[in-house]
Structure 1
Amino acid sequence: MPITPMAPAPHPRDGYYTMNNPYQANGPKGFTEFKYLEDTHDLFVRLDFPGVKKESVITLLQPSKKAVTVTGDAPKESKNDASHRKYGTSIGLLCDCCEISNNIQSFVEDGVVRLILSKKKIYLHAPTFCSFGGARMPTDDAPANIICGYNPAVADGNPYVNLGAHLRGLIPKGRRGTDPADPAFTGPVILPHPSVLEGPMMPYEAKQLSKGGLYLRVDMPGVPSERFMVAVDGDGVVTIMGRAPATMHDTSGRTYVAKVANVPRGYDGGRIKLVPKHGVVRVTIPPN
């Protein structure tokens, strides 16, 4: 009897808790998080790049000093992965009175890139508070491209992608960061990752193996390798769980719960192989 995958299913009334990952059960929503640090006025940025290797991440301050571009590579770690993934995005200033300082701090861990950006005034009579924004990979460093926040080629006309990119791309006036409980990210569809430039844009994939086994790739950014676990219930439902702790200036931690497959009753869960790496867990379920 072949092992059958279980596709993610939204709650019939509320939809997914957050449309960026159907398995996230709590914590800040969205692919990114922006937060102003009250004591320094620096900007803290969290970018989910599941699978990315630390040594591949490049943070580049554009010549205009109005934007920072971040790229990174997530290699194909298993022969059963569809392909590698390449990420790229930008964070830019929405004002004309400041520029981003050269001392960019970058931290990469468990498929998450965290940045601390400082800005300095070049127009001294401007207000104390001004805004950063984020967007899809720009074609140049012109501010209009950086703060757009919506790429029709990525969204493919999906209004949820348009809405999500807009809300995550711009920090509204008067707010000290993005809203971690943003209701716009709760809904019935799964959003493709807007920062994926090459490779799969969805947070999971399944592949039927020879002799009836099953291979799965599940994104759980922020979860350390030792905080994944698997369980098989009495009905044969395989559940993968992961806990991502709050790191640095994250609003909070995140919990993931993924019902990924059906196995025969009495199946020995100890046969299931988990390979966690860089905020991605790869699961091999052999046939009974």
Structure 2
Amino acid sequence: MSKSGSSSGNMSQGSSGSDVPNNPPPIQGIYATNNQFLKAGPKGFIHVKVLENDNLHVRVDLPGVPDDGVRHRVDAVRKKLVFFSGETPAGNQREGVREYSGSAGLGCDCCEITGVDAKMKDGVLRMIVSRVKVKDHDKKCTHTVPPNAGKSGRLLEDHPFLVKGRKGAVVGVPLPGDGLYFAVDIPGVCCDDVEVLANEHEVRFYAEVKNVDEHDESGRVYLGCVISCSSSSDPLPSILTQTIAYDAEFGVLKIVIAPRNSTNSE
């Protein structure tokens, strides 16, 4: 973990929490169906837009996937789709491995994909898909977008491209010695964009994308908390008496709450 501390502070209300083990409370009035912690900015697991030069910009959230951990290829037969896949590192047994696989591309008959420039950063895959017109067509060119892109609502939706691993945006794992480990999806955010503060029995986080991508209408803002709880009748020690360490890597915020002098570490 790159940052640590045991500071306290107040943040704005209305954030979502999660118990340990992973058992989130009912969620109401969430901003985006893909992540209960997303409070502002682009919604959806995927977004496709047409650029001024008629190329396509494709943004896909793949939280946890390293910058060099994604693969892509163009359908060699019809040249209409870009297939992409990726997986999270196998070393972190607390979260388990997640694997993603999906596609995006053209819905028209008149164009073909000629190339893809892909970049993976902070848990977000961005692709510039170039295309060329191969035959005349009276209808407007279209692109394919999954039905659950960019929506808001009161119920969360599963990631459409997740083929293995945890589905939720947050997971909590008990650690030896009364420690706790949390992982929260915040795709697009790096460690320098995150603030973590604590009070007696919860750790609140605020994350805001400072370096907005040129093709996004705005940056994203995440706000939430993780809650220290117990199934026993024994009172919990105050979080303020424990050590809090956190880091954000590949679009996932990782928080460790551990008794001071504990050896629990990432």
**TM category, shorter:** 0.7 to 0.9
Among 109, 112, 123, which residue is 1:111 paired with? 123
- Summarize deviations over 1:6-29 as a string: whole Å, max 9, x none: 835523xxx211110010011111
Alignment of structure 1 residues 76-87 onto 2, 5 Å = 76-81=90-95, 83-87=96-100
Among 64, 69, 74, which residue is 2:88 paired with? 74
Match of 2:255 in 1: 283
Q: Is residue 202 of structure 1 aligned with residue 174 of structure 2?
A: no
Offset of 1:76 from its aligned partner?
3.5
Report the Cα distance in structure 2 between the residues aligned to 1:73 and 1:206, rounded to whole angstroms: 20
Report the Cα distance in structure 1 between the residues aligned to 2:93 and 2:71, rounded to whole angstroms: 26
Is the 1:87–1:195 Cα contact (8 Å) retained in structure 2? yes
Is the 2:242–2:258 Cα contact (8 Å) retained in structure 1? no
Among 59, 74, 93, which residue is 1:46 paired with? 59
- Summarize deviations over 1:157-215 as a string: whole Å, max 9, x none: xxxxxxxx4253xxxxxxxxxxxxx5xx2222221111111211221111122232211
- Summarize deviations over 1:126-167 as a string: whole Å, max 9, x none: 248411114xxxxxxxxxxxxxxxxxxxxxxxxxxxxxx425
Alignment of structure 1 residues 251-266 onto 2, 5 Å = 251-262=217-228
The residue identity in structure 1 corresponding to 2:219 is: G
- Summarize deviations over 1:99-133 as a string: whole Å, max 9, x none: 111x211111100000111111111x224841111
CA RMSD of aligned residues (A): 2.3
The residue identity in structure 1 corresponding to 2:134 is: I
Match of 2:147 in 1: 166
Match of 1:19 in 2: 33
Secondary structure of the 1:104 match is: strand
Offset of 1:256 from its aligned partner?
0.5
Match of 1:94 in 2: 107
Secondary structure of the 2:147 match is: helix
Question: What TM-score comes out, normalization by structure 1 length?
Answer: 0.74
Structure 1: 5+ residue stretches without partners: 135-164, 169-181
Structure 2: 5+ residue stretches without partners: 1-17, 230-235, 261-266
Report the Cα distance in structure 1 between the residues aligned to 2:239 and 2:62, rounded to whole angstroms: 34
Secondary structure of the 1:226 match is: helix
The residue identity in structure 2 corresponding to 1:88 is: S
Between stretches 265-274 and 84-93, larger displacement belongs to 265-274
Match of 1:189 in 2: 155
- Summarize deviations over 1:199-238 as a string: whole Å, max 9, x none: 11221111122232211111000001221221113x5331
Report the Cα distance in structure 1 between the residues aligned to 2:142 and 2:245, rounded to whole angstroms: 46
Q: Is residue 244 of structure 1 aligned with residue 209 of structure 2?
A: yes
The residue identity in structure 2 corresponding to 1:98 is: C
Among 141, 149, 156, which residue is 1:130 paired with? 141
Secondary structure of the 2:68 match is: helix
The residue identity in structure 1 corresponding to 2:63 is: P
Secondary structure of the 2:44 match is: coil
Q: Is residue 268 of structure 1 aligned with residue 209 of structure 2?
A: no
- Summarize deviations over 1:19-72 as a string: whole Å, max 9, x none: 10010011111101111112x011111100001112221110111211110111
Q: Which has the higher helix share?
A: 1
The residue identity in structure 1 corresponding to 2:106 is: L
The residue identity in structure 1 corresponding to 2:45 is: F
The residue identity in structure 2 corresponding to 1:241 is: Y
Between stretches 254-263 and 62-71, larger displacement belongs to 254-263
Secondary structure of the 1:286 match is: strand
Report the Cα distance in structure 1 between the residues aligned to 2:49 and 2:181, rounded to whole angstroms: 37
Q: Which has the higher strand share?
A: 2
Tell me: CA distance 1:190–1:238, structure 2 relative to 1, closer, same or farther (3 Å).
same
Is the 1:86–1:197 Cα contact (8 Å) retained in structure 2? yes
Secondary structure of the 1:55 match is: coil
Identity across aligned pairs (percent)?
31
